[in-house]
Amino acid sequence: MKSLIVAVSLAAAALQTLRAQDVAVQIDDFISQYHQLRQFNGAVLVGKLDSVVYEAGFGLANMDWGIPNTPDTKFRVGSVTKQFTATVILKLVEEGKLRLDGKITDYLPDYPRETGDRITIHHLLTHSSGIPSYTGFPDFQTQYMRNPFTPDSFVTVFSGMELEFEPGTTFRYNNSGYFLLGVIIEHVTGLPFHEVLRQMVLDPLGLEDTGYDHNQEIIQRRASGYAKTLTGYENAEYLDMSLPYAAGSLYSTPRDLFKWDQLLRAGEVFAEPHSAESMFTPHLQNYGYGWVIRDLPIGNDGKKVKLVEHGGGINGFITGFWRLVDDGYTVIVMDNTEGSKVTAVQQGIVNILYGEPAVRAKHSVAETLLKIIEERGIEAAVQRHSELKAAGSEDYDFGQAELNALGYHYLDEGDIATATTLLELNVEAYPDSFNTYDSLAEALLRAADTAGAAANYRKSVELNPSNENGKRMLAQLGVELDAGLGDAVTVSPEVLLRYAGDYELRSDLTIKITFEDGVLLGQATGQGKVELVATSETHFFVEVVEAQITFDVADDGTVNGLTLYHGGASLYAAKVR
């Protein structure tokens, strides 16, 4: 009997090993598709508890020298930095040097008291301070991005601005808040942020391949950052790393982030358990302290898993860090090219882990049409686009961004006629997207068609009243907005109440519409609530993301469903209750 039990145990172990090997093969095949279509260039690590299920590098860390990416390549992680900044804050709270309810002015006495007396450390950690985010300034790239600043001097760039909302009432992703946290850390400790981070977190935890990415330092195995173009790659735009600072200036490797994940899982990061509880408690929009905590749908049967995650995007780099904490999975995807599809790669890996089909990479319509235009002209390309769409080909990406990118490629080349044709085609394909009209208007303006440009800028503002570029360009063209154009409209509570209910996009994805305190709110499965702002009685836009919703209302007032416009796609959701 004992030998039988041993044999069964060995057989089970062998089957488990074969299963793990099969999963690794599937993941490798899946990622390879994205790499072959130039939609991924980086490194991946997939873990299960303390074991590595899969790790590999794809493409090049340095394209000049042909140096390959590996799981030990150091990538800039962008906003994944925020969880490390939050960790330092919580450790200083443990030491009694900070309070989560402490005000900015408690630690930065020179900060304007009108706003600093109202904003707490908690508000900064949870993106609910109301301070304008400096990376969203229209002149950030031209006036600030390439220039070095000291932390204290850069704070003055935004500290005197009016708040966008009352602290604690709204979530709005905000790099200024985490920049301020870094400055507060420096003032409390008397040391530079990067040194505090090293002393309090990186060195004690043995994270030897994670650190502050100073431009001037020689950092072994550091990847170069690139921007993908329709014809190849180019170096990413220069960014002085004094600007991302505590909001986004770290580098790391897939292996070091996995080590960090294990330390968090084992409870070895903080001295007090309640610090970890604070970090992973979701607040507005499911945001904790440096982490997003939400449910992730798996498959089409309604299954969901708890996901603790954060992404990071910075010039030349994209990082995705997903922790499926209940089942012990960790998915780390790091890419050193802008324009890659890191989220799609992550989602596909998760699907494979749970035995679900992964969405395969699609050919770029822009790259396909570019070749045709260069060989046979724009007419042949338009015809091919029509043929592919008519055939309903699922092998091609027809997203709004594709034709938009191709149009701008020819606009940059000075071929305004070809660019205009492509951008007109995009308007035809996506007539409810403000961005398609905004892009076409730019091409028409380059063609000296000011009337056409004005008409399309007006349409873009009608569809999205928060389109400040459209308003600014209309002002430059000397076009006055009609009364109400570009502003939100008021819809009666009776009408808004009719929209309340659940709208099913697919079996695992529902949009819940609610009417609370006089505001219409939308909430997709696993996401936080966002305000819907009316531009007409049936058409609404979302300020925090480029999305619009049009309600399908019958003549008798019955609400049948809604259409969601987002990311170049239009999706219909029937009202189910």
- What is the per-residue pLDDT across 310-354, written as a single tens digit (0 to 9) for each? 999 999 999 999 999 999 999 999 999 998 999 999 999 999 999
Phi, psi (rounded to 5 degrees) for 75: -115, 145
- Examine the domain organization and report whether 333 and 410 are in the same domain: no
Q: What pLDDT does residue 281 have? A: 97
- Examine the domain organization and report whether 223 and 173 are in the same domain: yes
Q: Is beta strand 396-397 parallel, antiparallel or unpaired with respect to 363-364?
A: parallel
To the nearest 10 degrees (0 to 180), the angle between helices 434-446 and 450-463 is 160
- What is the per-residue pLDDT across 83-127, written as a single tens digit (0 to 9) for each? 999 999 999 999 999 999 999 999 999 999 999 999 999 999 999
> Residue 12: which pLDDT band, with cuts at 50, 70 and 90?
very low
User: d(Cα 466, Cα 483) in Å, to the nearest integer?
Assistant: 15
Q: What pLDDT does residue 567 have? A: 54
- Examine the domain organization and report whether 385 and 514 are in the same domain: no
- Examine the domain organization and report whether 248 and 196 are in the same domain: yes
Residue 12 within any structural domain of the chain: no
Token reading at 84: 């490390």
- Examine the domain organization and report whether 196 and 338 are in the same domain: yes
User: d(Cα 490, Cα 475) in Å, to the nearest integer?
Assistant: 25
Q: What pLDDT does residue 393 have? A: 80
pLDDT of 7 > 60? The answer is no
Judge whether 47 and 261 are in contact, CB under 8 Å. Answer: yes
> Residue 14: which pLDDT band, with cuts at 50, 70 and 90?
very low
Residues 6+ apart with CB under 8 A from 379: none
What's the CATH number where 540 sits?
2.40.128.50
Residue 380 within any structural domain of the chain: yes
From 450, 455, 371, select the one nearest 409 (Cα to Cα).
371
What's the CATH number where 391 sits?
1.25.40.10
Q: What pLDDT does residue 536 have? A: 77
Residue 20 within any structural domain of the chain: no
User: d(Cα 443, Cα 441) in Å, to the nearest integer?
Assistant: 5
- Examine the domain organization and report whether 460 and 509 are in the same domain: no
Q: Which of 353, 384, 405 is the last residue of a domain?
A: 353
Q: What pLDDT does residue 3 have? A: 57
Residue 17 within any structural domain of the chain: no
Give the pLDDT mean for 194-202: 98
Residue 68 within any structural domain of the chain: no
- Examine the domain organization and report whether 92 and 228 are in the same domain: yes
Tally of domains in the chain: 3
Q: What pLDDT does residue 509 have? A: 67
pLDDT > 90: percent of the chain: 72
Give 575 or 481, the one with higher predicted confidence: 575
- Examine the domain organization and report whether 465 and 538 are in the same domain: no
- What is the per-residue pLDDT across 459-473, written as a single tens digit (0 to 9) for each? 998 888 778 789 889
Q: Which of 302, 322, 353 is the last residue of a domain?
A: 353
Residue 326 within any structural domain of the chain: yes
Domain that holds residue 402: 375-476
Give the pLDDT mean for 161-167: 95
Chain centre to alpha carbon of residue 199: 30
Q: What pLDDT does residue 570 have? A: 61
- Examine the domain organization and report whether 343 and 392 are in the same domain: no
Q: Is beta strand 211-212 parallel, antiparallel or unpaired with respect to 250-252?
A: antiparallel
Residue 413 within any structural domain of the chain: yes
- Examine the domain organization and report whether 329 and 386 are in the same domain: no
- Examine the domain organization and report whether 444 and 315 are in the same domain: no
Give the pLDDT mean for 401-429: 95
- Examine the domain organization and report whether 193 and 301 are in the same domain: yes
